[in-house]
Every structure is written in structure tokens, then in C-alpha cells.
Structure 1
Amino acid sequence: MSEAPPGLRARKKQQTRAHISEQATRLFLERGFDNVTIADVAAAAQVAKMTVTNYFPRKEDLALDLQEAFVQGPAAAVRDRAVGESALAAVRRSLLIAIAAHDPVIGFSGPAFARMIAASSALTARVREFHDQRERALARALAEETGAAPGAIGPRVAAVQLGGVLRLLFDEILWRTLDGHPDEEIARVVSAQAREAFTLLEPALQNYAIR
């Protein structure tokens, strides 16, 4: 039998990964994250336990499978910014689009998912790691885009400031979701908060990393 072409293999891997993630999320929401094992997920997905860990080395990543988009989003916004646009403006624009779309990557995950995260110290710790990784990725992008010298502090300072706003607004969305506020209301409030927060950063960053 001939080997499946690369495109087909990649699609099958994506389908398997998505299926495992869907089954894991269902179990986590039904039982709570801390009450589900990797073996439970493997059984529900009808795959070997090793298959689960090959796709998701950490159990937390089964629940938080948007890690790549979360970590790389602001850095991508900076790299893709328009001519004449600063890094701050690019990150703000990207965030406001995501808020308007109720994007789950920035926290619009629904009450059940928000409760699952809040109830698990392992998940809340993993989310903090994602925030830290996002700031480091943003700092690298800013260093590349500004031609900063290796180890320069400027890109790291800017990334911490921008990342701090993103972290604060993520928490705002999460806690307002937990309090039972509908997404439309959360988006309206958080959009206003985002504009205010980025305006506060403008004296320091409005002319930084303009393309």
C-alpha cells in the first residue's frame, strides 16, 4: 500500500488533534479539569494514551489548545502593521477587532469554560505562563522590527507595557464572564477600557516602532 501524501497526513493529524481536544474539553466541562486524567481523554477519543501526549505533552494544553494564537497574536500584529502605524496602534487595533468578534483567544470562552479555568490552580498557572510567553514573543518581534541591539531593554519595556494591558483586559473578560455578564456587554465595557488603557501608554509608545 502506498503511503498517504503529505497533505493528507497533515489533515489527518489535524483531525485527530481536534478530536482529542473536543473530547477533552467535553470531559473537563462535565467533571472539572482536575478530575479528568489523560487516560480518560484517551478512552473518550478512542486513541492510545501515548497519542494524546504526542499531541498535547501537558494536560493543561488539552484545555488551552489556542496557545499558539494567544502567544503569537500581538507579535504577529506588530509584524503585519501598516505603513505609518506604530506597534501600539497595531496591537490596539488587533485587540479591538478581537473584542468585537468575541474571540475566545482573548477570553470570550463562555461561563462554563471560565468556571473551569478559575476552579483549577493548574490552569490558572498555565494561563499566566502563556501571558509571560506572549510578552517575550512580543519583545522579540519589537527587537526585530526596530533593529535593536541584542539584549536591548527598550523592546522588553515596550512588551511589558503592552502585554500588561492585554493581561489586565483578559482578566477583565474572564471575571465579567464569571459574574454572568453577556458577551455584548463585556465587549462594550472592555472596548472602552482598552481605548483608555492604550491612551495612557501613548506618551511613551505612540511613536515607537512606526513602520
Structure 2
Amino acid sequence: MAEGLRERKKRETRQRISDIATGLFLERGFVTVTIADVAEAADVSVNTVYNYFPAKEDLFFDRSEGVVDRLSRWVRARDVGESAAAAVLRELRDEVEAVSPRVGLIEGYDRFMKVIHEAPPLRSRLWAIQQEVQDKLKATLREETGAADDDPMPTLIAGQLNWLHQTVMGTIARAMVAGRDRDEVSRETLVLLDEMEGLLSEKVLNYAVRGAP
């Protein structure tokens, strides 16, 4: 019981620090705000902040773990008879159609992206996260298909599926930064998804089809 309470308190403290830091970054910019500023605003020590977040970039991309695992999670959860590409396309369409904040369809997203564009360390971290997404997906595809270590297909397919994801995310980000209506952006992105699917080969569309258990 006591252990559970301690863990919950740690999670709550971590989340509070992250929320306060995000507010400061959006208000003042990433480069201007220091770890000391975050610690003071959160009423904790600098060491406490570093215990939860080894780098300042971790404070801004606090939820990156869910993003890194997103495509792999979708592929692992694909239905019987569904390929990896079909699962990713279906999930992307569902998120876009639902005008989900998870794909950037949220008011204020322009402020979030502005902070990234103005801070080279954040741009570098975002690129690294995007690469992690592809590497994680490649490993998942290799595991799901039982492909040999020297089989290039998991790498090639992961690149194609990551292209779908990054194109959608980038298109939405640019539109939201431009102040576009999110419902309108959602409709246009669904059309874009159809066009991108039309560019994929049969080999990509039929890779890693889940068989019956």
C-alpha cells in the first residue's frame, strides 16, 4: 500500500513539473527558460527536476514514449487478415477523422510548434524521436514476420509506413501553425491519406498480413 502511494506521488510530481515547464516554455520560449526557473515555479529543487528529467528537452517532449511506440503498437494490434500498412492507415484515418489532438488537431498547436522551430535542441530531439519511431517499427515488423536479420523488407516497409505517419503529422502541423480550422484540416488530410495509399505498392499493402490464430 505504502509503495503504491509513493509511486503515485512520484507520478503526480513528475506530471506537475512537466506541466509547469511546458507552460513556461510556451510563454517565454525554450532557450530562455532554465531548469532553475522550472524548479522555482514547481517549488522543488533543481536536483528533483533532473531526477525526473535528465535533459531539458525531456521536459518538453515528456510524452514522447507514447509517440515512439505508436506505429509499432498499431501493427501489433492489427486484426486477423489485416496487413501492417492497412492497420496504420486505418488508425491514422480514425485519429484524423476524430479530429484527435494526438495527431496535432488541437487549438494552440501552433504555439507548441513555434517553440520547437525557435529552438535547435528541440528540432534535433524531434528528428531523433522520428528516427526512433522508424527503428522501433522495423524491429516490430521483423519480430512479427519472423524475418531473418539480413532480410531488408522490415527496414523498407518501416520506412514506407513511417513516411505515411510523418507526412500526415507534418501536413497537419503546417496547417495548424497557419491558423487553419482543424475540422477543415481533418477533411483535407483524409483526402491526402487516400492519395498516399494509392502510391503504395501491393507488396507494401500486403506485407505482414496477420493470419488466423
What's the TM-score, normalizing by structure 2? Answer: 0.92
Separation in structure 1 between the aligned mates of residue 5 and residue 151 of structure 2, nearest angstrom: 44
Contact kept? 1:74, 1:94, Cα under 8 Å: no
1:27 aligns with 2:28: no
Residue correspondence of structure 1 range 9-158 to structure 2 within 5 A: 9-108=6-105, 110-158=109-157
Cα displacement string for residues 182-209 of structure 1 (whole angstroms, at most 9, x for unaligned residues): 2111111112212221231142312100
Structure 2 gaps, min length 5: none
Contact kept? 1:75, 1:141, Cα under 8 Å: yes
Deviates more, 1:180-189 or 1:193-202: 193-202
> Which residue does the alignment assign to 2:205?
206
Aligned residue pairs: how many? 208
Deviates more, 1:125-134 or 1:51-60: 51-60
The structure-2 alpha-carbon separation of the partners of 1:103 and 1:118, relative to structure 1 and needing over 3 Å to count, comes to farther
Separation in structure 1 between the aligned mates of residue 62 and residue 196 of structure 2, nearest angstrom: 28
- TM-fit CA distance, 1:37: 0.7
Separation in structure 1 between the aligned mates of residue 71 and residue 65 of structure 2, nearest angstrom: 11
Provide the aligned C-alpha RMSD in A.
Answer: 1.5
Separation in structure 2 between the aligned mates of residue 61 and residue 140 of structure 1, nearest angstrom: 24
Contact kept? 1:69, 1:105, Cα under 8 Å: no
Cα displacement string for residues 102-161 of structure 1 (whole angstroms, at most 9, x for unaligned residues): 334433352211211222222122111111000000001100100011242110100011
Separation in structure 1 between the aligned mates of residue 45 and residue 150 of structure 2, nearest angstrom: 44
Cα displacement string for residues 50-93 of structure 1 (whole angstroms, at most 9, x for unaligned residues): 22122111211211112111100000000111100000011111
Deviates more, 1:95-104 or 1:148-157: 95-104
Deviating runs (4+, > 4 A) in structure 1?
none
Which structure carries more relative contact order (alpha carbon 8 Å, separation 6+)? 2
